[in-house]
Structure 1
Amino acid sequence: MGTPSRPLLRLKGHEIVPADEDRRVAIDVFDLLLPCRNYEVKYKVAALGQVSPTLEFLLRLVKATPGISDADAGAFFGYSVSEMAYVLEEATGPGYVERRAGRLWLTVSGDSLFREGEKEPTIYTVESRRRTFGFDLMSIAPQGKRGIDPVESALPELPSEDPAGTGRVAERLPGRFKHFFRELADRADRGKLERRDIYSIDPAVSAGERFQVPVRVLTYAQASNPSAAEIDLSSWRPDHEIADRREIERAVALLVKDQQTSVNQLDAASAYQVLIDLAPDFLKEFTTRAGLSEVRYWREAVSRAGEPRTDRKTIPIVGSLLLQENIERISAVLEYGMRDAAEPPSRIYAVAPQTRRWGATTQQRDMLTLLQEKLARAFPSVDRGDTKSTCLYAGKPAAYTTRTFDEVLTSHVEHFPKALEILLIPGVAVAALAHAPLGASNGNPVPLGWASFDPEVVERGNTYLMDRLERYAA
């Protein structure tokens, strides 16, 4: 039986699903940059040395029989006079054994070679080291450097309490180095078999190059409380390592909490209405005179979100399109839609919702690349680079968005509801989601919508988007 996972950080809210129907639901994915720095550390290690069998046997004999005579020791081992003289030199030279009146005793140094509970003597030598290690600037835990691509370098950075990389970090680093010494030493001395223990650390450390490392963050919620975000860092590191990085966990939790907004601020009702207008037959059971019964649809979608089929042309989508399971669903929808496509689409369009840090993950780029590759394989006349990706964005887009899409068109005037996200592959497939708190007036936005390869739904989505496209400019 596996060990239970650590509890995730959760914000309490109102329940909208009965306890017997409750379940954990994936909501969103982000990649956030962790500030790090290299530090040169000077330290000393006590390294396990080699003990010859003859020296070990003599030390054990003298330990067991203090004051034994040279002659008796030689007779015990069956050594000649010359052999015994050689062994005694090996023991008395380093100061492990002393001879007094032809008898042998262990010195304090010799006795200290026998650790408590061990019968064999252990010899250690002190060795100096000067090496460079990477540490994050938040939890001051080991973090190796790796290359990051242009999209990753533009991702949001977690705020550091010590942005200059000095002061608090330099003061705490020796203690943290000692805490992680076994991990660091094993990595630095990989291939060397002898055991090493930390002996001393020079408190003066030298700060070196700063760097950043992406941290993958998944957010989840209980179906009964969808707008109360939980964070999960297990895609980045296992639970036992996260336990040594509490500061990072807290910073991520605060940043995710910063995503919170209100239903009114996002004009959620208008976004839900677009979902109805584009797929009225699919949502007719959840449509009232007041619009979409989003809580009832959420409850239904959570329980039956599945895969597309020829007789299931429109499927519910719960959570971000960029979650791996939803990328797979969109990919399947695309494959069905390409079967009846008259011609290859020249564009993949995305309408960005006006939520904080939308698309702040390399999953956005990976999804677009996957769709472009599938289109290129389905239409031999099309190269992957021929199908461009275009994002329609209200206001100034984030740098990671401009680096993810082939083209970003912007407008200072809102032409789509703030909560609305659309992914359109003209003539093939369409997905639409509303990003808004669910079951409460305030909270983390919960993406909820559908994806479809139904020709009528795709055509409505195409008409809706194209009617507004000319109002956006590069």
Structure 2
Amino acid sequence: MEVDTLSFGLPCQNYRIRYEAIVGERLPAPYDFALRLLRMAEPMRMEDFQAFFGWNATELSVLLSFLSDSELVAERSGRLSLGRAAVRAFTGTDDEHDTPMLSSPSLQVETVAFDKVSFNLLDPTLGKVHPAAALPLLSIRERERAANGAQAARSAFERNFTEFWHGRPQFNPELPLPKQPSVIEVEPKAIFRRELTIPVRLGGGPASWVDLDFADLERTGRQRSRDELITAVRREVGDDPSPGDEHLALRCLEATGLPFAKHLSRYRPSQWARLTLSQPRIEDAQMPTVLLCGSAISPQVRQQLMEAAVEREGEVALPDAPLLWLRPSMPLWGVGSAFAHLGADLARRAAHSVDGAILLCRAREERLGPEAVQRKARHTFDAVISLTGGSLPGALEIVLRPKIWALVLVHRPEEAKGLPVGTGMWTGAPGLVTSVERVLLDCLKGAKGHWTRRQRASRSDPIRLLRGLLA
């Protein structure tokens, strides 16, 4: 079950590479058939050869002139047989239906992109960095190699030539792979970044687990060629990326009257995941509560956010209330394009509100300070509020449309340490929504906030706005 996706900035560089390779080329059909016939029936009388194809004297002369000049056919005493070049032209030795190829040196000029972390060929499917993304940049351990990029690119190109050739748009699987290229010149070009995304999966069964899924990287290129990149990702994630205060978050929710919190504390994330699949809804007289497992950008939670929120908002008269999003204290949360797109989608749904969408963040984030949050948030959110009191546990995430619906997630690891998994619920029940509002109201003391978009700047202070809205 996919419960999250982590995103990283991958430093890359283009190189213009001039090289020479022995490239195979298929022969035109008449020459191809002629060589195949001779391979099966050589030596062959000229008359029999001509009669087999039904060519006239002129056609036969043109064909034999080319084949003889290319040393593909030799003629002796009126009999035809394969020439020296024809032996090399057949890519196999036993298959009489093998296709003859003409091989010749070919000068090629290509622009090739490598990542600077492992100096492997860049996956062309990796997306550009979204303007709202605040991606942590994967560190380059081999500084000397990166500094001498042209030489590293030369070695990487030769080492990964098969992968490169198969990835060319004009690649023809019916043609043989060129022989090892001879690199003539390597010229460094543009430096840029790409977004590397790694799914996080939760495995059930007796031995449950949560881990990064590197299957796509492991299947790419030569065997184990992406090990260095995988190591860099694990190094960036760290041994214990969870906030570590999930028990405090559960007690905080219980204290505000959210009955699901006590229910949640009895289940590990893997058990909660199975529950969300077998019994996803808790029926309520007013509104069902939907149990969820995963981050906001995981398939299950994202679908619930988009579908249930729309359904609920279509049933009620919408108050003039913004979308509120309390981010958890996790450095890798919300940094990629998937979150940027989700946030933008939800913010657009709140666009009719005078106050739009507001991001709430804790003042002391581990690696992503409030300034960076505010700088990136302007692409998605209309205001940012920094909670200086620190009263809310870092494992807690809340998405709220006051008076309408609420989503609450507690991010906790499967074991004592490890990758956190969001576990929680979505509800439109008025009583539960009010309880979630109280959680946010209690932490607004000492908070600081400002509008990130000019059209909102004339509005009242966002802190005063929220206090009035949640009171």
TM-score range, shorter chain: 0.7 to 0.9
| SS class of match (2:137) | coil
Count of residue pairs brought into register by the alignment: 426
Q: Which amino acid aligns with 1:252?
A: V
TM-aligned CA deviation for residue 439 of structure 1:
4.6
1:420 partnered with 2:399: no
- Given that 2:128 and 2:193 are in contact with CA atoms closer than 8 Å, whether structure 1 keeps it comes out as no
With over 3 angstroms needed to count, the CA separation of the structure-2 counterparts of 1:350 and 1:63, relative to structure 1, is: closer
With over 3 angstroms needed to count, the CA separation of the structure-2 counterparts of 1:55 and 1:194, relative to structure 1, is: closer
Q: Which amino acid aligns with 2:408?
A: A
| SS class of match (2:409) | strand
Question: Which residue does 1:252 correspond to in 2?
Answer: 233
TM-aligned CA deviation for residue 38 of structure 1:
1.6
Instruction: Identify the match of residue 153 of structure 2 among 160, 164, 170.
Output: 170
Say which is worse superposed, 272-281 or 159-168, in terms of deviation: 159-168
| SS class of match (1:197) | coil
With over 3 angstroms needed to count, the CA separation of the structure-2 counterparts of 1:122 and 1:350, relative to structure 1, is: closer
Say which is worse superposed, 337-346 or 213-222, in terms of deviation: 337-346
TM-aligned CA deviation for residue 88 of structure 1:
4.0
| SS class of match (1:158) | coil
With over 3 angstroms needed to count, the CA separation of the structure-2 counterparts of 1:65 and 1:105, relative to structure 1, is: closer
1:407 partnered with 2:364: no
With over 3 angstroms needed to count, the CA separation of the structure-2 counterparts of 1:147 and 1:102, relative to structure 1, is: same
Q: Which amino acid aligns with 2:24?
A: A
Question: Which residue does 2:87 correspond to in 1?
Answer: 111
Question: Which residue does 1:241 correspond to in 2?
Answer: 220
TM-aligned CA deviation for residue 276 of structure 1:
0.8
With over 3 angstroms needed to count, the CA separation of the structure-2 counterparts of 1:26 and 1:62, relative to structure 1, is: closer
1:435 partnered with 2:411: yes
- Given that 2:295 and 2:422 are in contact with CA atoms closer than 8 Å, whether structure 1 keeps it comes out as yes
Instruction: Identify the match of residue 47 of structure 1 among 8, 12, 24.
Output: 24
- Given that 1:36 and 1:210 are in contact with CA atoms closer than 8 Å, whether structure 2 keeps it comes out as yes
TM-aligned CA deviation for residue 322 of structure 1:
2.6
Question: Which residue does 1:143 correspond to in 2?
Answer: 123
Give me the whole-angstrom Cα distance separating, in 1, the residues matched to 2:164 and 2:341.
Answer: 37
TM-aligned CA deviation for residue 106 of structure 1:
4.4
Instruction: Identify the match of residue 163 of structure 2 among 158, 174, 180.
Output: 180
TM-aligned CA deviation for residue 130 of structure 1:
0.8
Say which is worse superposed, 74-83 or 272-281, in terms of deviation: 74-83
| SS class of match (2:105) | strand
With over 3 angstroms needed to count, the CA separation of the structure-2 counterparts of 1:52 and 1:434, relative to structure 1, is: closer
- Given that 2:202 and 2:210 are in contact with CA atoms closer than 8 Å, whether structure 1 keeps it comes out as yes
1:313 partnered with 2:293: no
Give me the whole-angstrom Cα distance separating, in 1, the residues matched to 2:25 and 2:198.
Answer: 42
Say which is worse superposed, 40-49 or 50-59, in terms of deviation: 50-59
TM-aligned CA deviation for residue 356 of structure 1:
2.6
- Given that 2:71 and 2:83 are in contact with CA atoms closer than 8 Å, whether structure 1 keeps it comes out as yes
Question: Which residue does 1:471 correspond to in 2?
Answer: 446
Give me the whole-angstrom Cα distance separating, in 2, the residues matched to 1:322 and 1:54.
Answer: 58
TM-aligned CA deviation for residue 148 of structure 1:
3.3
Instruction: Identify the match of residue 301 of structure 1 among 272, 276, 294.
Output: 272
For residues 242-297 of structure 1, what are the alpha-carbon distances to aligned partners after superposition, in whole Å with 9 as ceiling and x for unaligned?
A: 8653333333333334443574xx3x33311121123444445x4xxxxxx72447
- Given that 1:345 and 1:425 are in contact with CA atoms closer than 8 Å, whether structure 2 keeps it comes out as no
Question: Which residue does 2:101 correspond to in 1?
Answer: 122
Question: Which residue does 1:217 correspond to in 2?
Answer: 198
- Given that 2:15 and 2:187 are in contact with CA atoms closer than 8 Å, whether structure 1 keeps it comes out as yes
Give me the whole-angstrom Cα distance separating, in 2, the residues matched to 1:340 and 1:112.
Answer: 75
Question: Which residue does 1:21 correspond to in 2?
Answer: none
Give me the whole-angstrom Cα distance separating, in 1, the residues matched to 2:174 and 2:415.
Answer: 60
- Given that 1:353 and 1:418 are in contact with CA atoms closer than 8 Å, whether structure 2 keeps it comes out as yes
- Given that 1:349 and 1:390 are in contact with CA atoms closer than 8 Å, whether structure 2 keeps it comes out as yes
Question: Which residue does 2:136 correspond to in 1?
Answer: 156
With over 3 angstroms needed to count, the CA separation of the structure-2 counterparts of 1:402 and 1:412, relative to structure 1, is: farther
Where do residues 197-208 of structure 1 align in structure 2 (5 Å cutoff)? 197-203=177-183, 204-208=185-189
TM-aligned CA deviation for residue 80 of structure 1:
7.0
| SS class of match (1:151) | coil
- Given that 2:344 and 2:380 are in contact with CA atoms closer than 8 Å, whether structure 1 keeps it comes out as no
- Given that 1:48 and 1:195 are in contact with CA atoms closer than 8 Å, whether structure 2 keeps it comes out as yes
Instruction: Identify the match of residue 67 of structure 2 among 91, 97, 116.
Output: 91
Give me the whole-angstrom Cα distance separating, in 1, the residues matched to 2:51 and 2:266.
Answer: 91
Where do residues 287-298 of structure 1 align in structure 2 (5 Å cutoff)? 294-296=265-267
Question: Which residue does 2:253 correspond to in 1?
Answer: 275
Give the % identical residues.
22
TM-aligned CA deviation for residue 426 of structure 1:
1.0
Question: Which residue does 2:466 correspond to in 1?
Answer: none
Give me the whole-angstrom Cα distance separating, in 2, the residues matched to 1:214 and 1:39.
Answer: 19
Question: Which residue does 1:389 correspond to in 2?
Answer: 358
Give me the whole-angstrom Cα distance separating, in 1, the residues matched to 2:2 and 2:107.
Answer: 49
Question: Which residue does 1:6 correspond to in 2?
Answer: none
TM-aligned CA deviation for residue 150 of structure 1:
0.6
With over 3 angstroms needed to count, the CA separation of the structure-2 counterparts of 1:28 and 1:96, relative to structure 1, is: closer
| SS class of match (1:327) | helix
TM-aligned CA deviation for residue 211 of structure 1:
2.1
Q: Which amino acid aligns with 1:255?
A: E
If the length of structure 1 is used for normalisation, what is the TM-score? 0.75
1:229 partnered with 2:198: no
TM-aligned CA deviation for residue 328 of structure 1:
1.9
- Given that 1:43 and 1:199 are in contact with CA atoms closer than 8 Å, whether structure 2 keeps it comes out as no
Give me the whole-angstrom Cα distance separating, in 1, the residues matched to 2:274 and 2:52.
Answer: 80
For residues 207-243 of structure 1, what are the alpha-carbon distances to aligned partners after superposition, in whole Å with 9 as ceiling and x for unaligned?
A: 2212222122221234579995311256xx4863386
Question: What RMSD in Å do the two structures reach over aligned CA positions?
Answer: 3.8
- Given that 1:29 and 1:218 are in contact with CA atoms closer than 8 Å, whether structure 2 keeps it comes out as yes
Say which is worse superposed, 390-399 or 30-39, in terms of deviation: 390-399
TM-aligned CA deviation for residue 408 of structure 1:
1.9
